[in-house]
Chains A and B, each alone.
Chain A
Amino acid sequence: MRLTLNIWRQPDAASPGGMHTYELDGVSPEMSFLEMLDTLNEELTRRGEEPVAFDHDCREGICGACGMVINGQAHGPERTTACQLHMRHFSDGETIDVEPWRAAAFPVVKDLVVDRGAFDRVVGAGGYITVPTGSAPDAHATPVPKPAAETAFEHAECIGCGACVAACPNGSAMLFTSAKVNHLAALPQGAPERESRVLRMVEQMDEEGFGGCTLTGECATACPKGIPLFSISSMNREYLRAVRKGGEATD
């Protein structure tokens, strides 16, 4: 396959960026999207040009490092991560636009690389169960009903890639935050911190400059792990519940 690639190039956070066009030949349908970019980068390197910077690591769709907007869609046309998107979903002669995540809370670092540190700070605000090492009771001390364990798992699948934020017209992180809130709220182990967790995480989320949620649902459509849209309304309920109980975001 032969492709025309329009790729966002930006030397660093402080410099302006722009779309650059590259012609790439010899793309095979078995390649992943990232292997296609590898092929381009090898060519650029051989010509002494700087290769396109992009985040990637496991290339199995689980680490959440990769992420780019492909033809206007976060992670491209298939419901998976860019590393698990294969070129068989494109056709010979096609033109493909490749851009970084666009969101106020995710500043561009270089080319397709953005800073998602805001996600880590949202988790640090309360996305955990306080259980210092060594203090745990026997694993079978508290049975967890299978449906609760499955609800927890469904939300715990989030890989923190940021596609939800990139897809949202408001740059909101509600789906990301709600996934963690619901994962831990579903389990008996998460109960003692249930109220403070949701209040603190939402507060941090707002502080990071993520936009508000208008339930357009783009996030859940883009999510490679299928975190459902109702996750957001569940979190809203958790939040109201916490407020009603007189909880405050701080200890």
Chain B
Amino acid sequence: MHRHLDYLGYRTGEPLRDTKAPSGPVAGRWDARRFDAALVNPANRRKYTVIVVGTGLAGGSAGATLAEQGYRVVQFCYQDSPRRAHSVAAQGGINAAKNYRNDGDSVHRLFYDTVKGGDFRARESNVHRLAQISVEIIDQCVAQGVPFAREYGGLLDTRSFGGVQVSRTFYARGQTGQQLLLGAYQALSRQIAAGNVEMHPRTEMLDLIVVGGRARGIVARDLVTGRVGTYFADAVVLATGGYGNVFHLSTNAKNSNATAVWRAHRRGAHFANPCFTQIHPTCIPRSGDHQSKLTLMSESLRNDGRIWVPAAHGDERPPERIPHEERDYYLERTYPAFGNLVPRDIASRAAKKVCDEGRGVGPGGQGVYLDFADALERLGRAAVEERYGNLFEMYERITAEDPYTTPMRIYPAIHYTMGGLWVDYDLQTTVPGLFAIGEANFSDHGANRLGASALMQGLADGYFVLPATLGDFLARHPHDEVPDGHPAVAEAVASVTSRLEHLLGVGGDRTPESFHRELGELLWDECGMARSDTGLRKALERIPSLREEFWRRVTVPGTGEGLNQSLEKANRVSDYLELAELMCLDALHRTESCGGHFREESRTPDGEALRDDEEFAYTAAWEHTGTGTPPVLHKEDLVFEYVHPTQRSYA
């Protein structure tokens, strides 16, 4: 039998429990936890060093807040400046249960919408806490000077996002992520200038140092000098984002990668629900083989844009020549209650369905129209421009088509990963002292994230949750030094350097990019919008041989002694080649459909995702055992006391 088929023979280990979430009424759990958490005396905080990897919304806000509290923070990002982390590209907005609109919103409704939107695969305790904290985030950001959109009276404006019927999304035109990130970056910059944060830009984490069962530091490479260094701390926080780039083409930044979380996984942190990936319905379709990434068009466009395809197969008339009655506004037709604002997983699958039926538009029939003609007529061009001007401009720049006169063409693309490192209520992974925040963890979105909730979660984790829970850990683990020359440190450094040397030494004939592209296409086909037993088995057979080929045929020019972007890329691709296998295994084992995970074998008569709560109401946390060897599955049962699982309906 082939080695790679053994991988499917995973075994189920001990169940996993979140021991940190208090019991009792869900609305009181966060207060109870905070009261129960041990505190570190302000004068003692400076004795503790905390490493934070990543400077996006989660990492930037965590680094700034921990430094404000008095801890010594050592922070890293691979970019040349902390201001460039990919949170910067988030467009549409951030949710908060402020109920400023008096439209029936409340903390409980945001909680309910998020649990339902996640297709009942998230923890109630975590989601409720997120909804509670959402209101404080808006306060904090406004005080920092984030220029949110405002009404004429000077108060904050809001809009609607998918999967909800209230207007709770705060925004700064189509640049909400940028403005929130700049707020966190400015707070962080203040702490850097004050000497409370030691910032290492252009430095990439390549391994986790675990000493005596605790995370005690990282191995990181200075991308400019090539120096591989070790950094020690009392706790390590990963805020390194998601792994969407495993698909090669995604809406993530080109250099966003999975190396930090994957290396941590290899050192003992369980990886939860890796197959829960989000496909965003409104992205600009690809234009050719040269395509290096996909560009998102904000979900906020679905407030006013109407999605349609020609009613008839093979109708190749230009959009303006197709009369109204010969168009199929398929979301409004199928889901009248939510219309164009159904959740992302549903909108994406619906687009795929009409394209599979041969009614797609544009080159290759891989697109649907997002049409603003009605909005322009109703609101006038000025109002549309004010709401979406920069998005329209971006669309025109990329496609050379004017969305004011001809409908946009859009198609789904990989956007976000709900899966990530397993964490408990305190955001601690299964490695003591290792915490994961923001998109890097799996915690709050279940099997599908609602729009404008990623910014909310990143900032909730960084500004408010982690600073409270990390203190508890530190208070219970008085500072001590990592012994000089500890073998675990030497081993971590050796494993990093030998791997880099190996990459530089293969001298093969295929570029790192060519492997990434091939892996991404395979994953998109077999572990993308629709997944099947046959397809996943095919991918699981191909990935190990592709990995073997990578280590035999890859070519990385240059040396490790300076800036070498090929080496950075090759190293990241080698991790994708392992992570992809776990994603496919997770997708294969979960034979139900839920949220963004759609198994063709498990659907309702209407073709919607059909959950199997009997079998699968659990989080799948995978324990690493070695490259290509079967992992161990640990199940964390999900209990729903407040939001009772039902077949999601948006009709």
Contact = CB atoms under 8 A, between A and B. Distances in A.
Contacts of B185: 123
B513 interface: yes
B86 A57 contact: yes
Interface string A110-151: 100101110111011101111111111111101111100110
B290 A38 contact: yes
Nearest to B224: A109
A116 B140 contact: no
A46 interface: yes
Contact of B189 (A53, A57, A123): A123
B555 interface: yes
B625 interface: no
Contact of A113 (B89, B288, B295, B563): B563
A153 B147 contact: yes
B83 A128 contact: no
A16 interface: no
B138 A28 contact: no
A146 B287 CA distance: 39
Nearest to B191: A124
B145 A183 contact: yes
B454 to A, nearest CB: 15
B518 to A, nearest CB: 14
Contacts, number: 227
A201 B147 CA distance: 20
Given A50-B558, A58-B253, A116-B80, A146 B142 contact: no
Contacts of B175: 62, 157
A120 B292 contact: no
Q: Which of B82, B88, B138, B555 has the most CB of A within 10 A?
A: B88
B156 interface: yes
A63 B145 contact: no
B179 interface: yes
B201 interface: yes
A53 B253 CA distance: 17
A143 B88 contact: no
Interface stretch (B299-307, B393-401, B433-441, B542-550): B393-401
B382 interface: no
Interface stretch (B60-68, B273-281, B524-532): B60-68
B150 interface: yes
Interface string A222-246: 0000000000000000000000000
A51 B557 contact: yes
A203 interface: no
A128 B183 CA distance: 8
B84 A45 contact: no
Interface string A98-118: 000000000001100101110
Interface in B549-563: 555, 557-558, 562-563
Contacts of A135: 143
Interface string A38-63: 11001011101111010111111111
Nearest to A51: B566
Interface string B148-184: 1111111110000000000000001101011100100
A216 interface: no
A250 B79 CA distance: 30
A124 B185 CA distance: 9
A42 B511 contact: yes
B635 interface: no
Contacts of B84: 57-58, 63-65, 160
A35 B254 contact: no
Contacts of B511: 42, 45-46
Contact of B290 (A28, A84, A110, A143): A28
Contacts of B564: 50
Given A127-B186, A156-B147, A45 B154 contact: no
A31 B289 CA distance: 10
A131 B143 CA distance: 7
A144 B83 CA distance: 25
A42 B292 CA distance: 12
A133 B253 contact: no
B116 to A, nearest CB: 26
Interface residues of A, number: 79
A120 B296 CA distance: 28
Given A136-B143, A146-B154, A51 B172 contact: no
A42 B516 CA distance: 13
A83 B59 CA distance: 26
A211 interface: no
A80 B153 CA distance: 34
Contacts of B566: 45, 50-51
A129 to B, nearest CB: 5
Nearest to A56: B254
Contact of A35 (B64, B100, B140, B292): B292
B63 to A, nearest CB: 11
B82 A120 contact: yes
Contacts of A34: 292
B189 A62 contact: no
Contacts of A119: 81
Contacts of B4: none
Given A124-B190, A127-B189, A139-B142, A187 B100 contact: no
Q: Which of A61, A128, A159 has the most CB of B within 10 A?
A: A128
Contacts of A150: 147
Nearest to B225: A12
Contacts of B86: 57-58, 63
A59 B143 contact: no
A38 B291 CA distance: 10
B358 interface: no
Contacts of A50: 557-558, 564, 566
B104 to A, nearest CB: 19
A60 B224 contact: no
Contacts of B647: none
A149 B83 contact: no
A165 interface: no
Nearest to A45: B511
Interface string B234-265: 00000000000000000001111000000000
A113 B564 CA distance: 11
Nearest to A149: B150
B404 to A, nearest CB: 18
Interface string B132-147: 0000101111111101
B27 to A, nearest CB: 20
Contacts of A125: 193
Interface string B67-95: 01000000000011111101011000000
Q: Which 3 A-B pairs have the closest CB atoms?
A: A143-B154, A124-B193, A128-B186
Given A121-B193, A160-B83, 9 more contacts: A30-B290, A45-B566, A59-B295, A60-B89, A62-B175, A120-B199, A131-B143, A138-B139, A153-B147
23 contacts: A11-B562, A42-B514, A45-B566, A46-B509, A46-B555, A49-B557, A50-B566, A57-B254, A58-B86, A58-B254, A64-B81, A65-B80, A84-B397, A86-B397, A110-B562, A117-B81, A124-B190, A128-B144, A128-B186, A128-B190, A133-B61, A149-B147, A149-B149
